[in-house]
A and B are shown apart, each in its own frame.
Chain A
Amino acid sequence: QKEVEQDPGPLSVPEGAIVSLNCTYSNSAFQYFMWYRQYSRKGPELLMYTYSSGNKEDGRFTAQVDKSSKYISLFIRDSQPSDSATYLCAMSSGTYKYIFGTGTRLKVLA
């Protein structure tokens, strides 16, 4: 079993839809949870981070962490074509080492 599982997609949605992206994990030591956006042939860009369980909102983005279920989510409201990218979840137990999911390719159709 991989430490972090993420559906690779691709996920296609119409413009304006609410997008739900998810990751599951197996290591209960993970405390820090990040979501990155990566455009084609570019480096990852940090979107959201959450420490431990709970929700965090930033504009159209909401990150949720459920440590009891070992499940994290990223919601994108009012999705735009410019949101089309690969979304990577990443986790850390507090050390330098990040464990990444495989990424979910999202396409928002105009």
Chain B
Amino acid sequence: GAVVSQHPSRVICKSGTSVKIECRSLDFQATTMFWYRQFPKKSLMLMATSNEGSKATYEQGVEKDKFLINHASLTLSTLTVTSAHPEDSSFYICSARAGGAYNEQFFGPGTRLTVL
């Protein structure tokens, strides 16, 4: 149980275009989903916390107008990278919280974004 999927797994786009990444909890309802970014050989950095039906909470230094997050249902959150630039190229990983005493997060397989 507790499976999280992401789509697409890999995307290549031209500079200036927008890219949407989906995160789904497949067998549980996730009131909270998280979006992380990971650069090569670097740690996962939390970008934002997404709560179903409300606005996302962004971490310091993350541009909310550039990284649009929508959490329309208890099983789906989307991250849209708007007007993507090469420096946005990274590995984007979502996770979903299924409740529990220590707020366990289940991670998706990640989406590799390459902006040309």
| A residues with CB within 8 A of B | 4, 6, 8, 32, 36, 41-46, 49, 51, 88, 92, 94-98, 100-103, 105
A103 contacts B43, C-beta separation under 8 Å: yes
A88 contacts B93, C-beta separation under 8 Å: no
B97 contacts A41, C-beta separation under 8 Å: no
Main secondary structure of the interface of B (DSSP, over half): strand
B32 contacts A43, C-beta separation under 8 Å: no
| B residues with CB within 8 A of A | 4, 6, 32, 34, 41-46, 49, 91, 93, 95, 97, 101-110, 112
The CA of A64 and the CA of B102, in the complex, are separated in Å by 17
A98 contacts B105, C-beta separation under 8 Å: yes
The CA of A6 and the CA of B43, in the complex, are separated in Å by 10
The CA of A92 and the CA of B101, in the complex, are separated in Å by 12
